[in-house]
Chain A
Amino acid sequence: DGGITQSPKYLFRKEGQNVTLSCEQNLNHDAMYWYRQDPGQGLRLIYYSQIVNDFQKGDIAEGYSVSREKKESFPLTVTSAQKNPTAFYLCASAGGDGYTFGSGTRLTVV
């Protein structure tokens, strides 16, 4: 079945560490997105990529980095520069009929 897969489902990070969240899709979508979701707030765009080897900053890109070496993959790295990384992270890809979301990764700083 076509879909978008995020891993891991839960991730714990020590302060000062970088961590990478995985996002893979087999929908043949060109565009992929990373969103952050905090309680009581709407989804906020971190980074997006409309084509392989190209990506753009969203509204809250500071402290995050991405790569898009393959059409299917759009990993997100949460760096130590992100001061409040504890959140629910959603990856999405977009085709003609709209977004397909992954199941999310919950990142907690310990």
Chain B
Amino acid sequence: NAGVTQTPKFQVLKTGQSMTLQCAQDMNHNSMYWYRQDPGMGLRLIYYSASEGTTDKGEVPNGYNVSRLNKREFSLRLESAAPSQTSVYFCASSALEGRGPQHFGDGTRLSIL
């Protein structure tokens, strides 16, 4: 009963390094999302994917790229990490063609020095 699985759980990077955050869901959901959560803020949408093969920008896409590898997996890449990208990153998925509850993973805590 895994739901949405994110790896890694924690990561420390140096400025300028690159990294890919992985997300996989086992609920056969069509839509997947990446959010970031900063202290005192709500969750802000970075990118989303309505279905396999499609991706689109959310509210804060700058500095990130995504890949919808297949129906299960949606990855988030930081090409050249910056301290402003220090955050907790959450992946989510939803069924019902995107009209339905979003199910979240437990997050990746990323620090960039």
The yes or no verdict on A and B being binding partners is no
**Residues of B in contact with A (beta carbons under 8 Å apart):** none
